[in-house]
Structure 1
Amino acid sequence: MTVVALRLAGPLQSWGSGSKFVRRGTETAPTKSGVLGLVAAAKGVRRTEPIEELLPLRLGVRIDQPGQLVRDFHTAQRPEKARDGSITWKPLPLSYRFYLADATYLVVLEGDQALVEGIDTALRSPAFPLYLGRRSCPPAGPVALGLVDGDLDHALTTVPWLASSHHQRHRREREVRLETMRDALPGEVGAETLRDIPVSFDPNRRQYAWRTIVRGSVLLPNPHGTEEPPAEHDPMSLLGG
């Protein structure tokens, strides 16, 4: 089996799954709807066109550099025409938008061999501009990492740590534990649900279905690490004779 790997990094990212009205939040990691939207843009699929071939793809995400949550706000005005033909501008409510600053993720897509190979090719020469959740969030550097032999779980544990050298030196440990999220297998224990499967990107009838995910972690070597990981604290050892 072969999977396609992506590096999603940039000054700002925003991966909303339940934003409403004037508050536009972000998840702590790329969503499936956001990633498939990026892939569809690379392949030249327009918003009004079907995306059925992408929906069976399994998604896995590794949080290589969490970044920081930041908040911005937007102002807007709406034109109103008076009876005398003059135009006045009515202010709309402030909208608060949340972003992840300086974050880096490994994203892995598992599926049909020809499909994942086509995704890798498209990401190297995208038909439409790529962005990380919102149009104001372009990626920093190439997105495509290439094809990786093995399944989704194998890629999450073997692709080298993608965090910046500064972040790796800051961690210091020779081995680091990184959080992961992936599509759950049928009946898998410990799963949670998220409304995150893009049935349609059509602006006139956007539709999303429920997705089941499982959270976990992997242990990776730190190329800039200098310290052994701290020993696990055992409070019961204090009661020993």
Structure 2
Amino acid sequence: MSVLTLRLAGPLQSWGSSARFARRTTETAPTKSGVVGMLAAALGRDRTADLSDLAALGFAVRIDQSGTRVRDFQTAHHADTDKAMPVSERFYLADAVFVAAVAGDHDLVRTLHEAVRAPVYLPYLGRRSCPPQGPVDLGITDGDDPAAALGQEPWQAAEHHQRRHTTPTVSLPVLAEVAAGVTLGATLRDQPVSFAPSHRRYALRNVVSTSIEVSNPYFRPPDERQGRAARRPVPVPRHAPEALLTPLPTHHPQDGH
């Protein structure tokens, strides 16, 4: 058994587990169906392909940077009649970072690892309009507990977010899947059964909320922070948009130009 960990970060993410008509919401963390869909796309599987092996993977996700929920309104028209469709209300997570882990048979996990590094179809974070920022692959570890593997991963939040914390460690929320037959925790309808466009199907699964302590790489003792601030004040950068412009060549008046 092995565990594959993935860094899910980008300007926008949207992980919906339910939708009603024109209102498309997002969960506060990646769903299992969304991550399994990303892995299936990386493998190059058709939407009608069998998902039983991927659906059987153990799953857990860590919230490294919760981000901000934002709302957008979108319009569309029917392609054949050009008739306007109802305005849809869509929700996203902006500036969020998560670490997801899937556990399963070693050969399958290794195949997924190779696919994520060289995907057939480009990955996206819940919706096609949400590409990831940087590589999603974090590597493979031995074991069968995805939540335990998350405890071994360094904090993946953005540097500016980490610097805001002044403690040597931080507590990060973890949503871990419960073994089949156990009725603890919350229930989510994001267990993928079929991604077929004609009839998408999702089953229920149970999730428990825990937390993991990770080190803060930017922690400094109070006296050291004060000493550094006194010795090396941070200069305010000059706003110089003209620096991005290419200067025009200068000509001498005698050139006749």
Shared fold, TM over 0.5: yes
Partner residue, 1:231: none
Question: Does residue 165 of structure 2 align to residue 171 of structure 1?
Answer: yes
Q: 1:92 to 1:185 in 2, by over 3 A?
A: same
Equivalent positions of 1:203-218 (< 5 A) are: 203-218=197-212
Matched position secondary structure for 2:164: helix
Matched position secondary structure for 2:83: strand
Partner residue, 1:130: 123
Q: 2:192 aligns with which of 186, 193, 198?
A: 198
Q: Which runs of structure 1 show a deviation greater than 4 angstroms over 4 or more consecutive aligned residues? A: 186-189
TM-superposed CA distance for 1:92, in Å, is 2.1
Partner residue, 2:26: 26
Q: What letter corresponds to residue 213 of structure 2 in structure 1? A: L
The whole-number CA distance in structure 1 between the counterparts of 2:69 and 2:52 is: 33
Q: What letter corresponds to residue 136 of structure 2 in structure 1? A: V
Partner residue, 2:71: 71
Equivalent positions of 1:30-49 (< 5 A) are: 30-49=30-49
- CA-to-partner distance for each residue in 1:15-60, whole Å, 9 max, x for gaps? 0000121100000000000000000000111111111111110101
Partner residue, 1:156: 150
- CA-to-partner distance for each residue in 1:211-241, whole Å, 9 max, x for gaps? 111111111110012369xxxxxxxxxxxxx
The whole-number CA distance in structure 2 between the counterparts of 1:42 and 1:59 is: 17
The whole-number CA distance in structure 2 between the counterparts of 1:22 and 1:171 is: 39
TM-score between both structures, scaled by the size of structure 1: 0.87
The whole-number CA distance in structure 1 between the counterparts of 2:41 and 2:193 is: 16
**Structure having the higher Rg:** 2
TM-score between both structures, scaled by the size of structure 2: 0.82
Gaps of 5+ in 2: 223-257
Partner residue, 1:98: 91
Q: 2:112 aligns with which of 93, 101, 119?
A: 119
The whole-number CA distance in structure 2 between the counterparts of 1:184 and 1:212 is: 5
The whole-number CA distance in structure 2 between the counterparts of 1:63 and 1:120 is: 21
Task: From the two aligned structures, give the one with the greater strand fraction.
Answer: 1
Pairwise CA RMSD of aligned residues?
Answer: 1.6
Is the contact between residue 147 and residue 174 of structure 2 (CA under 8 Å) also seen in structure 1? Answer: no
Name the count of aligned residue pairs: 221
Tell me the percent identity: 50
